[in-house]
Structure 1
């Protein structure tokens, strides 16, 4: 595997985010850093291949966006819909099935083995690393995770998820159950 490559500037990510920063509001800094961390992890698993970078960046900008666009705890399908619509509307030129798959399967518990496995699996592992705050490392070194977390601090992202679970679900418990049923894939 290559060394972890930390890019603190991603102009394409910022271009995509520009349309949603106001909507995401106070949650934006934490979500932005979550996106940068997951992109960094996924690109590591893809050998930092530039050919995959635009797809990975797009998938992660949109992967949780349904939390804010649709106020849904079952946010995978709304997130996919926004990503696919923007891909077409703004002529991003990405394979819609691959973009949808990277978003749809990013919470899959077991390894993904379907079409586009390499990219979708890299995205899945990346999100699990970040969702678990590095407890699940998926083969990545603890030092690499610490370097990425130092470059892109959490800024309350995981607290935001708990708040949204409570706000949208009525309570943290009910929201947590709705999130689990709505987004976790086997």
Structure 2
């Protein structure tokens, strides 16, 4: 397997984040690094296909944003809505179905089959790698994952998710159930 390319700076990502940084607040550094890690993995799964890079970057900036914009544990649809509205408002020209699909299916357990399969599947696999902290590797080597994690440290991102589940759900148990029911797809 080819080496993994790590881009430490992604100007498009920073522009996309700008209007939402205050809403994300203290959780921003951890979420930002999660986004950079997932973009890195997805682009590796896409063999560095630059024609997909803007879509991948945009999908990952927005993929969990409903946690903060809508304060919602079932955040896929709110995240999709914000991404699609901004895509239209700012005339980014991204295929709305590919953008929506990359966000909607990123927690799908089984492989995605359907329109825009290559990019959606790359995003799905990338998020599983990062969400599992590398326990699920989807073909990546441990050393690749460690290299990406060293470039973009966790900064408490997974703890943030647990805190939000408790805060929005009322308890860890209820929040965990709401998250699972609201975002996991078969």
TM-score by length of 2: 0.99
Distance in structure 1 (CA, Å) of the matches to 2:115 and 2:53: 18
Distance in structure 2 (CA, Å) of the matches to 1:92 and 1:68: 23
Distance in structure 1 (CA, Å) of the matches to 2:146 and 2:2: 16
Distance in structure 2 (CA, Å) of the matches to 1:77 and 1:2: 35
Q: Is the 8 A contact 1:106 1:120 kept in 2?
A: yes
Paired residues in the alignment total 186
- 1:91 Cα deviation (Å)? 1.0
Structure 1 segment 20-169 matched on structure 2, within 5 A:
20-169=20-169
Distance in structure 2 (CA, Å) of the matches to 1:13 and 1:54: 9
2:11 corresponds to 1:4: no
Distance in structure 2 (CA, Å) of the matches to 1:48 and 1:2: 11
Once structures 1 and 2 are overlaid, which stretch shifts more, 99-108 or 2-11?
2-11
Distance in structure 1 (CA, Å) of the matches to 2:116 and 2:91: 21
Give the SS at the match of 1:19: helix
1:112-146 deviation per Cα after TM superposition (whole angstroms, max 9, x unaligned): 01111100000000000000000000001110000
Q: Is the 8 A contact 1:2 1:48 kept in 2?
A: no
Runs of 4 or more, structure 1, over 4 Å off, are none
Query: What stretches of structure 1 of length at least 5 have no aligned partner?
Result: none
- 1:3 Cα deviation (Å)? 1.7
- 1:2 Cα deviation (Å)? 3.1
Distance in structure 1 (CA, Å) of the matches to 2:173 and 2:146: 30
- 1:54 Cα deviation (Å)? 0.1
Could you say what the CA RMSD is over the residues aligned between the two structures, in angstroms? 0.5
